Amino acid sequence: MTLIISAKGQHVTKDGKREGDFVVLGCDSRGVIEIGKIIRTEINKCQKLFQLNDYCCILLSGDSEFGFTLISEFLEKSELKSKGVSDIAAKFCKFCRNRFNEIENFSLASQELFPDIDFIVSGMDKEGGKFGKGKIFILRKDRLFTPSLSADFTPSGQTLLAYYLFEKGYKKDLNLDDTCSLVAQAIYETERINGNVGGEITLAVIDSNKFRFLNAQEYYKEWEQQELDKIIHGSP
């Protein structure tokens, strides 16, 4: 179980000039192993965000061991240094399909035999000769990993509260700090009420200044339950 989120926005100067896109990525670090209805083990050190190059990352939701193997093999066998996010998403789709076909003919009829897994590929494409056009693609196993160009906000995993908070707080003109806060807060609040999401929150951003990690603790508030109830229910 997990929660991964990618959200897109645009840098705007104080005088209203637009200066290229940014993409924010966030995830928890909990992995859950369940054996039957009795045994449950939680691991809070699962890696779910992987940097593919300076302008592209991938988020993993689902079977972490299987997904980690796919991503590691893709990095080993692919030259991604100067590639934009659209090219990488297409290459990763082809790689996943080929990898499944090595095991068995992967089709809509046979896909249920394989672990549940989704990927969010986020980053920059070139625009005007430099990396500045943000895009988010989601690749789902149940769609044969066909890259789907997503909206400005894309979660996967335990998404119910995240969707709700973004519905209330997301606007296209949010600046970078506010977008980071919204992503981090959505993961933090989900951790508070959903035992399948937990551990350290990872937060990162990609823009024309390349990929970089952020300190997630600087971007979420530890609301009291009464404050959270007011936000969710709209109470005065």
226 confidence band (pLDDT: 50, 70, 90): low
pLDDT at 115: 75
Question: pLDDT tens digit string along 5-57?
Answer: 999 999 988 887 888 999 999 999 998 765 555 655 778 889 999 999 999 99
Three-state secondary structure call for residue 25? strand
Which is higher by pLDDT, 32 or 109? 32
pLDDT at 39: 59
Q: Mean pLDDT across the stretch 74-84?
A: 94
Place of tokens 């986020």: 122
Question: pLDDT tens digit string along 57-73?
Answer: 999 998 888 889 999 99
Question: Who's near 89: CB < 8 A, 6+ residues apart?
Answer: 121, 137, 139, 147
What are the boundaries of each domain within the chain?
A: 3-233
Least confident of 46-50, 161-165, 212-216, 229-233: 229-233
Quickly count: other Cβ atoms within 10 Å of residue 69's Cβ.
12
Is it the case that residue 210 has pLDDT exceeding 90?
yes
Is it the case that residue 185 has pLDDT exceeding 60?
yes
Q: What is the pTM of this model?
A: 0.88
Rg (CA), the chain: 18
Place of tokens 């937990």: 198
pLDDT at 64: 84
CATH topology of domain 3-233: Glutamine Phosphoribosylpyrophosphate, subunit 1, domain 1 (3.60.20)
pLDDT at 217: 93
Kindly give the pairing relationship between strand 56-62 and strand 49-53: antiparallel
Is it the case that residue 225 has pLDDT exceeding 80?
no
Count of residues for the chain? 236
Tokens encoding 187: 């993961």
| Share above pLDDT 90 across residues of the chain, in percent, rounded to a whole number | 58
pLDDT at 235: 53
